[in-house]
Amino acid sequence: MLAYILRRILQVIPVFLGSTLLIYFLVFAMPGNPILALFGDKTPSQSVIDALEAQYHLNEPFIVQYFYYITGIFQGDLGNTFSGQSVNDVLARTLPVTGRLAVMAIAIEFSLAIIIGTISALRKGKIFDNVALVISLLFVAMPIFVLAFLAQYFLALQFGWFKPTVGGNNNWGDLWLPALVLGFSLYATSMRLMRGSVIDTLNQDWVRTAYSKGLPRRRVIPVHVLRNSLIPVITNSATNFGVLLVGATVTEAIFNVPGVGNTLFQATLRHEGPTIVSFVTVFVIIYVLVNLVIDLLYGLLDPRIRYVK
Partner 1 sequence: MKRSKIALASVALAGIGALALAGCASGGSDEPTPAGGDAGAIIKVNGSEPENPLFPANTNETGGGKIVDSIYAGLAYYDGEGNIVNDVADSITVDDANTITVKLKEGQKFSNDEAVTADSFIKAWNYGALKSNAQKNASWFSDIEGYSEETDSELTGLTKVDDTTFTIKLSNPVAADFVQRLGYSAYYPLPEVAFEDPAAFGENPIGNGPYKLAGEGAWQHDVEINLVKNDAYTGGREAKNGGLDIVFYANLDGAYADLQSGNLDVLDAIPTSAQATFESDLGERAVNQPAAIFQSFTIPESLAHFSGEEGQLRREALSLAIDRDAITKTIFNGTRTPASDFSSPVIGGWSDSLEGADVLKYNQDKAKELWAEADKISPWSGTFQIAYNSDGGHQAWVDATTNSIKNTLGIDASGAPFVDFASLRTEVTNRTITTAFRTGWQADYPGLYNFLAPLYGTGASSNDGDYSNPEFDKLLASGAAADSVDAATADYEKAQEILLKDLPAIPLWYSNVNGGYADTVQNVVFGWNSVPLYYQITKS
Residue ranges in contact with partner 1 by CB under 8 A: 30-34, 36-48, 51-52, 55, 82-85, 89-90, 93-94, 145-146, 149-150, 152-153, 156-158, 160, 163-165, 167-168, 250, 252-256, 258, 262-263, 265-266, 269-271
Residue 107 CB neighbour total at 10 angstroms: 12
Comparing C-alpha atoms, which of 227, 250, 243, 249 is closest to residue 297? 227
Residue 244 and residue 106 in contact, taking contact as beta carbons nearer than 8 Å: yes
Q: In this structure, which long-range contacts are made by residues 204-213, counting pairs with CB atoms below 8 Å and at least 24 apart in sequence? A: 204/228
Dist. CA 256–CA 237, nearest whole Å: 26
Residue 170 and residue 248 in contact, taking contact as beta carbons nearer than 8 Å: no
Smallest gap from residue 272 Cβ to partner 1 (A): 10
Smallest gap from residue 78 Cβ to partner 1 (A): 15
Comparing C-alpha atoms, which of 102, 295, 127 is closest to residue 185? 102
Instruction: Say which amino acid occupies 82.
Output: F
Three-class secondary structure of residue 80 per DSSP: strand
Smallest gap from residue 23 Cβ to partner 1 (A): 17
Beta carbon nearer to partner 1, 8 or 93? 93
Beta carbon nearer to partner 1, 188 or 267? 267
Beta carbon nearer to partner 1, 74 or 159? 159
Backbone phi and psi for residue 88, each to the nearest 5 degrees, phi listed first: -55, -50
Beta carbon nearer to partner 1, 160 or 216? 160
Smallest gap from residue 74 Cβ to partner 1 (A): 24
Beta carbon nearer to partner 1, 161 or 206? 161
Smallest gap from residue 85 Cβ to partner 1 (A): 6
Smallest gap from residue 41 Cβ to partner 1 (A): 4
Beta carbon nearer to partner 1, 131 or 138? 138
Query: From residue 20, how far is each of 32, 86, 181 by CA, in Å?
Result: 21, 18, 30
Beta carbon nearer to partner 1, 40 or 125? 40
Q: At what angle do helices 12-29 and 62-74 cross, to 10 degrees?
A: 140
Residue 256 CB neighbour total at 10 angstroms: 15
Smallest gap from residue 273 Cβ to partner 1 (A): 12
Instruction: Say which amino acid occupies 157.
Output: L
